[in-house]
A and B are shown apart, each in its own frame.
Chain A
């Protein structure tokens, strides 16, 4: 993470209503009422409340590149835009107001759907977090929305009193409270920004499909890289430990090529079973609980390794590996509940009560068998 990126995002860490980036050197042209903006600001539009930045409805190369990096968990926690009001196209007093979060990936996925539209975008300060997660946390919430309406002077910018809020924002926003406190009526729009043109064309009516959250293969593979990157360090430590331990034998300490590298490969495969294979095969793996699905992914991983001969030909070691891989993969897949779109807190708690002790027991048994493989050699 370089210094520059830290500076540009200093607004995301604090709930301060005023932008703190003002000391930063930037072309004065882009310094508008609410702070400093990136290249996506293409101009300004005059309103009763002063100039409002106008943003492009297309993503440029840098937006796409940075977005891809964020998907790979690079700079993901520092990717935000300054909260406030923005314009797309040439909006006037009657134009629609779309509410969103200040996570730049979210902001970009919204504005790229607004081609040939005149609209206002009201960006809430969610500290760089997407709408749904921020709504769950309450930062994309009634208070923030009401305050942001006040602060931007929205009442003087538009003559109507309607806001289009993404449906997933409903977890944090109470429509009737917003109306009481600000006079604005909240209309819940579609879950996905890509449905906005169709939603507007249908006179702001959502279809059942627009209201449903999905978690299809593409969705799951999109969130998998972040999952993979998060435990990478721990995985590498385990690899290293297994590499060192594999040298121990009753005949003395021996590191040999390629046999000493097999345990490292086994750990890596187990890791990918829980972070990539299980997420990819999620609906097809047996069981409803994620830990069980992860255990099955571990079985698949073990089967591949066994066929390739990477778990060795000794019975104790092989069973040891099977249990270790199942335990590891199961735990990692349990963590994937956080990235999924349909697990409940009560469900996760219920699952964990059984899963965590089982995972510990299975892994411990696997470790014991693996260690006993040092002393006992039983081959098939």
Chain B
């Protein structure tokens, strides 16, 4: 199957092999097949396919994976700069009582 790639050499993903136990959780949760288990250790086999969703690091029970996760959304980055915050998906409101429809940006 054809694979989509975004920019090269940008991902903040790092793997600490010393901490890795080869459980394979990262391979299970990665939506872009970035990992493979080779010789009972995780290996990053397709770094440029990483979209920094953070699923791997969140589910690594041994803290072997680090990634600065976030949304790859230009609107969110623009909104983040305007509001002086980290870019987040503005589709739902964080403040109770505010209509989510008002902060209408990307996903859904």
Contacts and interface: CB of A to CB of B under 8 A. Distances in A.
A350 B104 CA distance: 24
Contacts of A19: none
Contacts of A47: none
B31 A283 contact: no
B8 interface: yes
A73 to B, nearest CB: 8
Interface in B22-56: 25, 28-33, 49-55
SS class of chain A's interface: helix, strand, loop or mixed? helix
A287 B106 CA distance: 23
B88 A345 contact: no
B108 A342 contact: no
A36 interface: no
> Interface residue tally of chain B, by bracket?
35 or more
Given A188-B28, A339-B106, A13 B68 contact: no
A171 B58 contact: yes
Interface in A122-144: 126-130, 132-137, 139
A27 interface: no
B59 A343 contact: no
A360 to B, nearest CB: 13
Contacts of A290: 74
Contact of A343 (B28, B51, B107): B51
Contacts of A2: none
B74 A212 contact: no
Interface stretch (A89-97, A109-117, A330-338): A330-338
A337 B96 contact: no
A288 B6 CA distance: 6
Contact of B10 (A77, A133, A347): A347
A171 B31 CA distance: 10
A290 B30 CA distance: 23
B104 A348 contact: no
A342 B106 contact: no
A349 B100 CA distance: 25
Given A77-B100, A348-B73, A103 B108 contact: yes
Contacts of B4: 215, 282-283, 340-342
B89 A342 contact: no
A78 B104 CA distance: 11
A135 to B, nearest CB: 8
Contact of B100 (A16, A105, A128, A226): A128
Contact of B108 (A129, A175, A341, A351): A129
Contacts of A288: 5-8
Contact of B72 (A1, A209, A345): A345
A338 B100 contact: no
B28 A137 contact: no
B58 A174 contact: yes
B92 A129 contact: yes
Contacts of A343: 6, 51, 72-73
Given A172-B58, A338-B73, A345-B69, A213 B32 contact: yes
Given A175-B25, A288-B5, A344 B52 contact: yes
Given A77-B101, A174-B58, A345-B70, A133 B107 contact: yes
Contacts of B12: 346
A340 B8 contact: no
B65 interface: no
B1 interface: yes
Given A12-B100, A342-B5, 19 more contacts: A1-B101, A13-B96, A129-B108, A130-B107, A133-B89, A133-B107, A134-B92, A139-B92, A171-B58, A174-B58, A175-B61, A212-B31, A215-B4, A334-B74, A337-B74, A342-B4, A345-B69, A345-B73, A351-B7
The 6 closest A-B pairs by CB, nearest first: A338-B73, A343-B72, A345-B70, A338-B106, A77-B101, A133-B107
7 contacts: A77-B101, A105-B108, A129-B107, A215-B4, A340-B4, A342-B6, A344-B11
